[in-house]
Amino acid sequence: MRIQDVARALVAPGKGILAADESGGTIKKRFDGIGTESTEDRRRAYREMLFRTKGAAENISGVILFDETIRQNAADGTPLVKLLQDEGIIPGIKVDKGIVGLHGAAGESVTEGLDGLGARLAEYRELGAQFAKWRAVIDIAGDDIPSDYCLDANSAALARYAALCQQEGIVPIVEPEVLMDGSHSIERCFEVTHRALRSLFSALLDQRVALDGCLLKPNMVIPGKLHAGGRATPDAIAEATIRCFRDVVPAAVPGIVFLSGGQSDEEATANLDAINKRGPHPWAFSFSYGRALQAPALKAWLGSDDNIEAGQAAFAKRAKLNGLATSGAYSASME
C-alpha cells in the first residue's frame, strides 16, 4: 500500500489513532495511579486488553506502539502486532529518543533519535509498522521562549525524520507539541503554534517530504493550565485552532490528528467535536489520543485480569465518542 493510502486510511471517517507508546517512566506513573506494578508482563497484559477490545476497529484506525510492545506476544503467543493487523488496525511505532536541553538556548529542548534511524525504521517495517511518530516539545515561558532557534532546530529534526520514514515506505506523523503548561493565554498559544507550524512546513518542504504522505499531530490552540482566565470554551478553542491551521497548514496534508495534551477525556472529545461542527475543512480533523482514550480503561482495569471486560468496555466507549467527534456528531449527553 502506498504511503498516501496509509495516511488516508489513518484518518478514515469516524476513526482515529490510539497512542499506546508511553515510555517506561510514563506508563509507570499511570500504573502507580491504579496501584499496579509496572512489569513487562503487566504492561503486555494491559495493552493486550486494549488491542483485543471487540469492535475497536470501528473507531480506531491505527495504534502507535513503543519499542517493547512491537516485539511482544500476547498471552497465547500471538504477536501483538498481528492482533491489530487481524482486526484491520494499522500498527505504528514511536521512534524518537526523547528530549534533551538545546545547546545555546537555556530552558529549551530538542528531540534526539536521528542517529541510526534509517536502520531502525527498516527493522520496524519488517516487524509490521506502517507509520511512525516523532514528538517535538515546545514550551511557552515568558516573551522569549520559544525562540526561533528552538523552533527551527526541532523542525529540522522532524523534517529529517519524516524524509527517512518516507524513504522506508513508512508514513511519518510529525508532532510539534506546544505544551499546555504555564499561564499563557489562548492568543499566546495561537501565536506560538502559528510560528511552530510555519517553521515545520518550511523544513518539510526543504527535505522534499511528500505532504500527501504524512500526518500532522499538533496541539489544539488552547490556554495554559494556569491561565488566570481559566479554561476556554470548546467554541473558542475551535475558532482559534481552525483559524491558525487554515493560515499555515497546506491542504495537501490529508489529516490532522490532535494530541490531547493534558485535557480531560471529556474536554478532548468536546473540543474535537466543536472543531468538526465548523466543517467542512481542507483536512480530516481526527485524534491521536493517549491518556484521553486510556484513562477510563485504566481505572476500570486496575491491574486485574478479572476486570478485563470492564476495561475494554470503558475503552470502547471512549473510542466511540471520539469517533463521533470526528464528524461533529458528539454530544455531552452521551457521556
Q: Is 217 known to be catalytic?
A: yes
What does the DSSP 8-state code read for residue 334? G
Say how many C-beta atoms besides its own lie within 10 A of residue 300's C-beta.
20
Which residues are within 8 A (CB) of 188 and not within 5 positions of it... i.e. 6 or more apart?
140
Out of 15, 94, 133, 217, which one is annotated catalytic? Answer: 217
Q: How many helices (H) and strands (E) does the chain have?
A: 12, 10
Grid coordinates given for 227: 491561565
Distance in angstroms (rounded) separating the CA atoms of residues 161 and 4: 17
Distance in angstroms (rounded) separating the CA atoms of residues 162 and 198: 16
* C-alpha dist (Å) from residue 84 to 94, 164, 303: 16, 25, 22
Task: Single out the residue of 303, 219, 289, 232 nearest to residue 20, CA to CA.
Answer: 289
Out of 22, 48, 108, 175, which one is annotated catalytic? Answer: 175
Largest distance between two CA atoms of the chain: 55
Task: Dump the DSSP string for 200-239.
Answer: HHHHHHHTT--GGG-EE----S---TT-TT-PPPHHHHHH
Distance in angstroms (rounded) separating the CA atoms of residues 151 and 205: 16
Task: Dump the DSSP string for 237-274.
Answer: HHHHHHHHHHHHS-TTS-EEEE--TT--HHHHHHHHHH
Task: Single out the residue of 199, 231, 235 nearest to residue 218, CA to CA.
Answer: 199
Say how many C-beta atoms besides its own lie within 10 A of residue 280's C-beta.
6
Residues marked active site are found at 175, 217
